[in-house]
Structure 1
């Protein structure tokens, strides 16, 4: 992974913008949408800067310790600005590390057509129900598994389907039962079936053969436990996977 994606809250925070022309105006509009306070190069209260066509300014700002985005110069960028799809509080960012803004834009257009307008309302509903979910599932693992099952394809809150209201889901939801699944995979993540990709994304722990490719294991949740040995005889809570390489 060439970069760590992060979402930075910029409301009322200073961001330096250096440059003129349409590229600079496009960045100004984006910063204003994020609530940033746009300032000049000499401002002392900024941590981020965006520069258009001014290599000398880039050098000066970096010397001051600022993180700098240089428009159309990925080799000079400390951070890049992704293509963005916004649905209320749900923000999806597509980045290529500056390698191809055109590819990021094309993917954003596909996602615009795919992601429904109601995603923001679903996020708000889940936020409002946090207390009720904690009461329903006091154990954090049970709670995460119940939410994951509801948001999975075909689930009660499937964000790309026709989700019921969060309140209606809470009224009928139960603890997700423990289970184990076996996956036989190749070394190529593109060969994963939709079912396999979904199981990797939902698994609480992954037992795997030593020769399973890292590129496959990277498709799992970052906090899923990875264990390079066979499944134990006992059943552990949640979803456990045994992953082995196709012979």
Structure 2
């Protein structure tokens, strides 16, 4: 992972913007949407800057002041890059390529725009509003997370791609079913290429709490798991494997 994706709250905060023309105006519109206060290079309170014309000298001068800088089309002089954005407020999806290809990020954004329903933001807000009820229904933190994962899973009552997911929230809260019990699933890998993962394997990797894996399982496969999932190289998984969903990854043959 070449960068740490973060979402910055910029409302009322000064951000330096330099450069002229359409590129600068596009960055201005983006900053204004985020609520930033756009200032010039003389502002001593600013901690963030966008050099929209990619001027390396300006970028390096600002970086020398301890300011985090984005220099358009000059990734080697950037402390951060600006992603392509899918906005389903309050849901934001950022697609970055580390400056390698803005065109690729744009193409992926367009695909996701067509895929994600307009009510996705409403689902996020409904889940936020329901937090007290969710905590009351599942007081244990691990059980609560597993219940939410199951609700939001493909085909689940809160599946974000379902058109009626928001309307299904009350019935989901009223269900008497508990979260799925702790379990161990085995993934037999027939290839070192993560693109060869089955849909089931990819889904399990995205949900698992921990990964037990043989030492020779490629890092490219392990990287497809949740970023915060525990990864443990062992010859065989322990019994019991632990709470939640655990995976045992082994290479075929």
| Length-normalised TM-score, structure 1 | 0.95
Alignment map for 1:31-110 (pairs within 5 Å): 31-53=31-53, 54-110=55-111
Helix, strand or coil: the match of 1:206? strand
Q: Which 4+ runs in 1 deviate beyond 6 A?
A: none
Aligned to 1:112: 113
SS in 2 for 1:86: strand
Out of 239, 247, 252, the residue aligned to residue 246 of structure 1 is 252
Distance in 2 (alpha carbons) for counterparts of 1:214 and 1:151: 27
Q: What CA RMSD, in Å, does the superposition of the two structures yield over aligned residues?
A: 1.4
Residue 177 of structure 1 is matched in structure 2 by: 181
Distance of aligned partners of 1:56 and 1:225 in 2 relative to their CA distance in 1, 3 Å threshold: closer
Task: Quote how far apart the aligned CAs of 1:246 are.
Answer: 2.0
Q: Is 1:209 aligned with 2:214?
A: yes
Counterparts in 2 of 1:189-228, with a 5 A limit?
A: 189-228=194-233
The alpha carbon displacement at 1:82 in A equals 0.4
Deviates more, 1:86-95 or 1:208-217: 208-217
Q: How many residues align?
A: 247
Cα contact 2:56–2:77 (8 A) shared by 1: no
Shift of 1:235: 5.7
The C-alpha deviation readout for 1:143-175, integer Å capped at 9, x for no partner, is 111101111111111101232432221111522
- Unaligned 5+ segments in structure 2 are none
Q: Distance in 2 between matches of 1:52 and 1:175?
A: 49
Partner Cα separation in structure 1 for residue 51 and residue 231 of structure 2: 42
* Maintained 8 Å contact 2:27/2:52: no
SS of the residue 2:43 aligns to: coil
Structure 1 alignment gaps of length 5 or more: none
Match of 1:6 in 2: 6
Report if aligned partners of 2:85, 2:109 keep a CA contact under 8 Å in 1.
Answer: yes
Deviation at 1:20, TM superposition (A): 0.6
1:210/1:59 Cα in 2 relative to 1: closer, same or farther (>3 Å)? closer
Match of 1:159 in 2: 160
**1:129-148, aligned counterparts within 5 Å?**
129-148=130-149
Residue of structure 2 in register with 1:16 after alignment: 16
Report the TM-score, using the length of structure 2 for normalisation: 0.93
Q: Secondary structure at the match of 1:133?
A: helix
